[in-house]
Structure 1
Amino acid sequence: MSADPFGRAIRDHYLGSREEPLIDRDGDETREHAIERWYFGEHDEDAWRDAWMEGPLLDIGAGAGRDALYYQEQFETVAIEVSDHLVEILRDRGVADARVANMFTLRNHFDRDRFRSAHAIGTQVGLAGSMAGVRQFLDDLAFVTTPDATAVLDNYAPEKEATGDVFAYREDPAPGLAYRIYHEEYEGDVGETLLFRVFSADRLREATIGTPWEVTALTYGETQWRAILEKSHSPP
């Protein structure tokens, strides 16, 4: 099994045994990963987002269950993570259906039309690595969701000036595109290099071409956008 400093650090934090920080590293630049704030806070009730979510719901990259625990009180929710450690935490915290699954191989894990909505908050869609990868993800997400499904996605907004100060940010000469590249370290374990494709909401709209998805609602924060996607027609 490959090193999983990310999952192991969050597990140790949950168990109260973490003595060292989880470090994000981009060359000589580092930051301490804010585990408690990012993974163990309360669900950020966002009426704009939550109004679009219906069950069965797929929580993609569920972390420690902050959102899955909230949504499962209302309807069936399936939470997925790639880390065995995180799935153990999800189950221990009371997530009823938590599974090890890769968000970029959804067809391998779920049947067609399995979910009414999908939730992927945390910019993890950028791990698709390229816009072709984003389009493939949207195709796969279309396969496992119903013809009337909705999805919520987010990413950093490269057109915003403040985004240039985001950790591990790299500019791209192409309009509406950028990257983030870093890895994580914990207690001597070094994780694999993470390549996030940063793309604007306009680039997301381009990526939906040829898929059943359409961007129907959009909101912005200081450095990020959040989008609601709806099916415009049934998947092939």
Structure 2
Amino acid sequence: MTELFGRAVADHYHDRMDEPLLVRDGAETQEHPIEAFYFEPFDPESEAGRWLSSWVRAPLLDVGAGAGRHALVFGARVETVAVDVSESLVAVMTDRGVADARVADMFSLPSRFDRDRFGSALVVGTQLSLAGSMQGLRGLLGDLAFVTDADATAVVDGYDPGHEAAAELLGYRPDPTPGLAHRTFHFAYEGAVSETLQFRLFSPDRLREATVGTGWRVADVRRADEGSYYRAALTKP
């Protein structure tokens, strides 16, 4: 998925995309809105932007930074390291002016950065759900705790399975456990198909449960005006 997806975003950025990037689950297909998701400028003065900015401390680690939508803004204010597993996306970020963009897997952060290296972290793009399970989520939160200092903050996001709109997500799979669900889909671009992505969706309450023992606590939750999407701010007790 990584380079197929990254190549599609890079093609869009360089205006050489002849076919759309598709998201598929069985017979259901949607066009992925690359411009809106990755290139629409982040407005730090909007209500949502001010909320997000209020949780950013220097230095900042932007995990799964995509095309650098947030890193471009925050990088002008504080030291920002933007990482993504896709070489194509890192090249796009660099070309757009992100000063420190690196190839790194979010599941190997402790091997890439020293303990207490950062004052805050962004994991925005629902990629936290790729942890796959509550145990995997705890492990990833623990890794984020390792690379951030004792007073650190973090902002993560996801889809709340407890919201009725969650069932409308492409690839949604219900779960009998309250506050949990699955989501499954793959990308298709220019005749190529990615591996199937498996997401574990969790409610804010399940996120609170997952933080126990990781060094984090959920300090605030901001929900979208409508729909199941939310962002959560984490702090260290």
TM-score with structure 1 length normalisation?
Answer: 0.95
Q: Which residue number corresponds to residue 145 of structure 2?
A: 142
**How has the CA–CA distance of structure 1 residues 3 and 60 changed in structure 2, closer, same or farther, with 3 Å as cutoff?**
closer
**Deviant stretches of 4+, over 2 Å:** none
After superposition, residues 68-217 of structure 1 pair within 5 angstroms as: 68-217=71-220
Deviations for 1:5-58, whole angstroms, at most 9, x for unmatched residues?
211111111111110011111011110010111111101432112111011000
Q: Distance in 1 between matches of 2:162 and 2:2?
A: 35
SS at match of 1:127: helix
**How has the CA–CA distance of structure 1 residues 130 and 3 changed in structure 2, closer, same or farther, with 3 Å as cutoff?**
closer
Work out whether 1:4 is the aligned partner of 2:7.
Answer: no
Q: Which residue number corresponds to residue 27 of structure 1?
A: 26
**How has the CA–CA distance of structure 1 residues 3 and 203 changed in structure 2, closer, same or farther, with 3 Å as cutoff?**
closer
How far has the Cα of 1:226 moved from its partner? 1.1
SS at match of 2:108: helix
Q: Which residue number corresponds to residue 63 of structure 1?
A: 66
Q: What count of residue pairs does the alignment treat as equivalent?
A: 231
1:116–1:148 contact (8 Å) kept in structure 2: yes
Deviations for 1:120-148, whole angstroms, at most 9, x for unmatched residues?
11111000011100000011111000000
Runs of 5+ unmatched residues, structure 1: none
Q: Distance in 2 between matches of 1:98 and 1:206?
A: 32
2:160–2:201 contact (8 Å) kept in structure 1: yes
| Greater shift in the superposed pair: 46-55 or 68-77 | 46-55
How far has the Cα of 1:3 moved from its partner? 7.1
- Counterpart of 2:15, as a letter, is G
How far has the Cα of 1:76 moved from its partner? 0.3
Runs of 5+ unmatched residues, structure 2: none
Aligned-pair identity in percent equals: 56
- Counterpart of 2:230, as a letter, is W
- Counterpart of 2:231, as a letter, is R
1:9–1:22 contact (8 Å) kept in structure 2: yes
- How big is the alpha-carbon RMSD for the aligned residues of Structure 1 and Structure 2? 1.1
- Counterpart of 1:15, as a letter, is H
Q: Distance in 1 between matches of 2:79 and 2:59?
A: 5
2:55–2:153 contact (8 Å) kept in structure 1: yes
